[in-house]
Amino acid sequence: MKLDRRSFLQQIGMTFLTWGGMSFIPNLGKFNQPINRYIQTLAEPTNRKLALLVGINQYSNSNNLNGCITDVERQFELLVHRFGFNPQDIVSLTGKQATRENIENTFIEHLSSQAKEGDVVVFHFSGYGSKMKVKNYKNELEYGLANSLVPTDEVLQGKFSNHILEETLLLLGKSLATEKVTMVLDTSYNNFEIDRIGNLRIRSQNKYPQEAAQEELEYYIELKQRLENQNNKSPGTIIKAAGDNQIATEAFGNGFYAGLFTYNLTKYLWGTTPANTVLVSLRKTASEVESIMGKLQQPTVNQSELSSLLTYYQMADNSLPGEGIIIGKEENGNILIKLTGMSSQTLKNYGLNSCFAYAEEGDINVNEIPLLSIRSKDGLIAKAQPLGQINYQEGEVLQEVIRVIPGNVGLTVALENQLQRIERVDATSAFSNIYGVESVVNSGEQAADCLLAKAKLKVNLEGSFNTQQDLITPYIENEKEIGALAGGYGLFSIGGIPIPNTIGQSSEAVKSAVFRLKPQLNILMAAKLLRLTVNEASSRLPVKVTLEITNGENQSFIKRESVRQLKSTSLDDSFGLSPDEGLVPSIRIGSQIKYKVENCSNRPIYGIIIGINSDSNLIAIYTQQLKNKPIQEGKIVDLPETSNFFNWTILGPVGLSEIKIICSDSPFSRTYETIDTIENYNGEEQKFLYLSNPVDVSKAILSDLHNASNIPENIVSNNNDGYALDVNHWATFNFIYKVI
């Protein structure tokens, strides 16, 4: 018989059903076996991995979401093809299946009744979150608000919500017989009367809180009472897409929607190695999310886990990292590939003739291995033509070998929904005369790189919302700017975060604003091109880079390396992590920093430091050392070199910096020639440069990487207007940190 919630509660009340000294043993009558034989079976060692994945797009009484099913699919593919889960041990509940009762019962039947000590358990939820009014069971006149997960059958008759209390879920996690539990919650709990911010959908139900259903409340209370002797047991690693007073969002990709958090987390986990703890991928994910959402969405993990997180989902021993998997084959011989490990921006601008190969370790040569060449793309799915004899095998992990970046990459600008029709018409006309702007769209219609909007309101500096009105339009954080710039046009991230120094006066016409913003649009365009080169996961050029704070004793702060080629025993990225400051690394104004670059290859390499600082300018560290001579094999250099004449000091303002270290086995000849043309540059040994020709510099970098790759025409043909990059010849490492 099935183990329902009532039977489950009865069984965990038995004296021997505890966790720790007396193992938690559920589901005593399920197979109608003698008690002693059942206990003996449960005591046997096991390495089983179980997962329950819940994703809800369609709701009975709320606006529908779009990306939750994609989240479930990405988690399923990750667990099976990267972390060794048996597909039969994963249950996915989507659509009408994801009712409150079905989610809770499936948790008990699939996870609680099967998981043994030492097993791995994963629970994932993507959908709406909310808050419910909950009675104090000791005083029925008192109410409080509690976080809840919204199932597809969200509403009961009258004033009651048929939600799952988040606390119920955590208690169910405590009831499991194993400590190796991970719960991923891509949802949020603020009840605001809007469903969008910027170009993104919000995963908080926009309704006033109703009362919790009596059945759910009674179930929670009884479960809590039955588990009182397990108060010291952790419910596992709880990873949330946003803090309790923040919002979780989903973004439009290139033909698909996905949770902003889940997409980035799974992307990083596809490229991770056994040496990485979950914290490494979480910090990278949190940095990506914060670059779009600022303080409105900051992923969290329960603080007790920060120092002892296990490898995420316990990676399979024979697992290899990758950027895609084979999902099918067409009659004409084309291979269907799911591009699971690519960033959404790279995926959107991923050129035809990009090539993949079967996952393998060690060096590769594009002339000696069979390749799969991309011929078309639709969302996450690509059709590839084999170059050479390839043994087709569904589920096979693929690794990137050649990345083609089209020469006509441009910016997509979204127009905020509250702009009037005449404003949209004038803005679209003005943008058509701006070089590099590829298209102008309405907010929420498709993927975009930035947002044009009026700045009207703000949130407080803690990221909490003063009122629901604070979310309606993008905000300004600087108190002094509120009066002068309220109503002025400016550029914002797709999550509605203002780009520094772009907000104009309220009296400015929209056409004038677009013309004024041309320099910043050039910087955004240059930054986009640079982001398309990031390949830390797929690079086969062996390099290690460490960001150090050099005030007093040198302190390692962030580490990056070519994980595919280097097999470090540990790649800890938790240096100086303060739970109070969140997962994104923070550097204080006045700190001095440097990058330590280690050439682990068997050949000389060259490098360049370039990126966006906290005041949204494109900067580069110019060093004669890198321009004139390479880093020899096996050597470690400091960039910039420590000297009495030049130190890299963090000057501010407060904000996010995104710096890239780009390495190649060929000189950056064209890049440095382009930098040499900058006005007022006097040829100093080392210099901190604000680049007045940002797009030219970014294209010069792409050109140098293209020339270094020197890919034969029989592999990538007709590429005169694009850039073809070989992962053997370049590595771009991304360092995102907060200036505080």
Domain with residue 230: its CATH number is 3.40.50.1460
- Average pLDDT score over residue span 126-151: 82
Establish if 734 belongs to a structural domain: yes
| 316/496 Cα distance (integer angstroms) | 39
Residues 360 and 227 in one domain: no
- Whether 286 and 359 share a structural domain: no
519 and 647: one domain? no
Same domain, 575 and 667: yes
Helix H or strand E segment including 439 = strand 437-442
Does residue 28 belong to any structural domain of this protein? no
Q: Is 420 exposed, middle or buried (0-12, 13-18, 19+ CB in 10 A)?
A: exposed
Distance CA 529, CA 524 (A): 9
Same domain? For 372 and 444 the reply is: no
**pTM assigned to the model:** 0.89
pLDDT at 523: 96
One domain, residues 331 and 377: yes
Label residue 26 by pLDDT band (50, 70, 90). Answer: very low
Q: Which of 333, 368, 403 is the last residue of a domain?
A: 403
Residue 179: predicted pLDDT:
85
The number of folded domains in the chain is: 4
pLDDT digits 0-9 by tens, 463-477? 433 333 343 334 444
Pick the last residue of a domain from 379, 403, 427. 403
Classify residue 37 by burial, with Cβ atoms within 10 Å: 0-12, 13-18, 19+. exposed
CATH number, residue 480: 3.30.160
In the predicted structure, residue 685 carries a pLDDT above the cut 50: yes
- Assigned domain for 8 exists: no
Q: Distance of CA 680 to CAs 42, 622, 700, Å? A: 74, 13, 20
Q: In a 3-state reduction of DSSP, which class is residue 675? A: helix
Tens digit of pLDDT for each residue in 560-570?
Answer: 998 777 665 45
Q: Please tell me whether residues 240 and 275 are part of one structural domain.
A: yes
- Pick the last residue of a domain from 355, 384, 403: 403
Residue 34 in any domain: the answer is no
The answer to the question of residue 199 being in a domain is: yes
Residue 5 confidence class, pLDDT cut points 50, 70, 90: low
Q: Are residues 277 and 361 in the same domain?
A: no
121 lies in the same domain as 265: yes
Looking at the structure, tell me whether residues 521 and 569 fall in a common domain: no
25 falls within a domain: no
Helix ranges (H only) for 82-165 are 100-106
Q: What is the domain range of residue 468?
A: 411-529
Burial grade of 632 (CB within 10 A; 0-12, 13-18, 19 or more): exposed
Closest CA to 339 of 525, 184, 537: 537
Q: Is residue 26 part of a domain?
A: no
Give yes or no: residues 505 and 629 share one domain.
no
Structure confidence at residue 211 as a pLDDT band (50, 70, 90) = confident
pLDDT band, very low/low/confident/very high, at 483 (cuts 50, 70, 90): very low
Q: Is 667 found in the same domain as 543?
A: yes
Query: Does residue 363 fall inside a structural domain?
Result: yes
